[in-house]
Amino acid sequence: MNLNKIFQLVFSFILLLTITSVTFFFWASSSNHKESGYSKLIENNFPASTDDDSVFSIITYNIGYLSGLTNNLPVAKTKKLFDDNLIRAYHEFKRMDADIICFQEIDYYAKRSYYVNQQEALQKLGYNYIFQAVNWDINYLPFPYFPPSAHHGEVYSGQSIFSKQPLTNNERIVLDRVADSPFYRDAFYLDRLAQVSKSTLGDDTVIIINVHFEAFDMPTRTKHAKYISTLHTKYKDDYPVLILGDFNSDIRYPNAAIQLIVNLPGIKNAVDLDKKTYPSIKPTARLDYIFYNEDYIELKNSRILTEFGNVSDHLPVLLEFRVKKSNY
């Protein structure tokens, strides 16, 4: 075989490989759903609660798509793992009977969790109002990187607010992305979100802000904290405000982004900052918080819900509270 023929074969192979790679990149990073549907309110017809107690409860939980301690690890995950974790989560939530639950990393339809709509399964606990905010809609997520058999594949996932009482004025706010992230990573990366809802609790309207901050880039995470601080300022004088979620920031570290929220005037943290939420077994870090404005909200009880075990790699946080004064 002459040199020219070898050159043609090599060139053809490289060209074919390039075309295949580019085609895969655009297919894999494309979405399956219309962006207009990324924010929606779902209403159900479960029997309404008749509890007249003035004490309300709210839980925040990064449910980690029910993958337990295997979240983001390059290991095989059986359907039994997800089924068992769903049963356990359902049981614990039924026992807690919270008025509001705010989820992060909940799958609506994803290969990594065997295409089970986790939101649909858990709303059967009796939540008539679900604010769904999608932050990941992708044909194929090639992560964890190796082996390919561990790839997440198709992902349709996000954050959800479950409420027994009406949710109104629902906003899906996309937070800043990592500015210097390479295009090939950014194309597959999730949107970091803040969900803002108004919920009617008794005679009062409460503002709920459910967040999931950037995990890997501190400057971006700090931008998220600054933005949430401005949201708090917008509402704090007129409404009871609850800011909660996975902040991906541990107060122990110097210049931690979470300090910007902890130090806001008039804001209180629901659970002592030395209590840990991550990982769910023998936790060493605090990433999950509930904050409230003390002028409007009185803390009645709060704790880390260790009874959920390793359903997720995070532990949920509970706040039981009473609204001090009406905003009418």
Is 125 in the same domain as 59?
A: yes
**Is the per-residue pLDDT at 43 higher than 90?**
yes
Q: 10 Å Cβ neighbour count for 306? A: 13
Report yes or no: 200 and 185 within 8 Å, Cβ to Cβ: no
Q: What is the DSSP string of 147-189?
A: SGGG--EEEEEEEEEEESS-EEEEEEEEPPPPTT--HHHHTTP
Is 260 in the same domain as 270?
A: yes
Is 10 in the same domain as 81?
A: no
Domain count for the chain: 2
Q: Examine residue 328 and state whether it is found in any structural domain, yes or no.
A: no
Is 72 in the same domain as 153?
A: yes
Q: Examine residue 299 and state whether it is found in any structural domain, yes or no.
A: yes
Q: Examine residue 150 and state whether it is found in any structural domain, yes or no.
A: yes
Is 85 in the same domain as 160?
A: yes
pLDDT (tens digit, 9 = 90+) per residue, 218-240? 999 999 999 999 999 999 999 99
Which band of pLDDT confidence, cut at 50, 70 and 90, is reported for residue 1?
low
Is 2 in the same domain as 132?
A: no
Which of 199, 161, 201 shows the shortest CA–CA distance to 55? 201
Average pLDDT value for residue range 69-79: 93
What is the span of the domain harbouring residue 105?
31-323
Is 94 in the same domain as 237?
A: yes
Is 74 in the same domain as 14?
A: no
Report yes or no: 241 and 234 within 8 Å, Cβ to Cβ: no
Which pair of structure tokens corresponds to residue 241?
């405000």
Q: What is the DSSP string of 241-261?
A: EEEEEE----TTSTT-TTHHH
pLDDT (tens digit, 9 = 90+) per residue, 161-194? 999 999 999 999 999 999 999 999 999 999 999 9
Is 95 in the same domain as 235?
A: yes
pTM (2 d.p.): 0.95
Q: How far is 43 from 273, CA to CA, in rounded Å? A: 36
Is 14 in the same domain as 163?
A: no
Per-residue confidence (pLDDT) for residue 3, from 0 to 100: 78
Per-residue confidence (pLDDT) for residue 224, from 0 to 100: 98
Q: What's the one-letter identity of residue 109?
A: Y
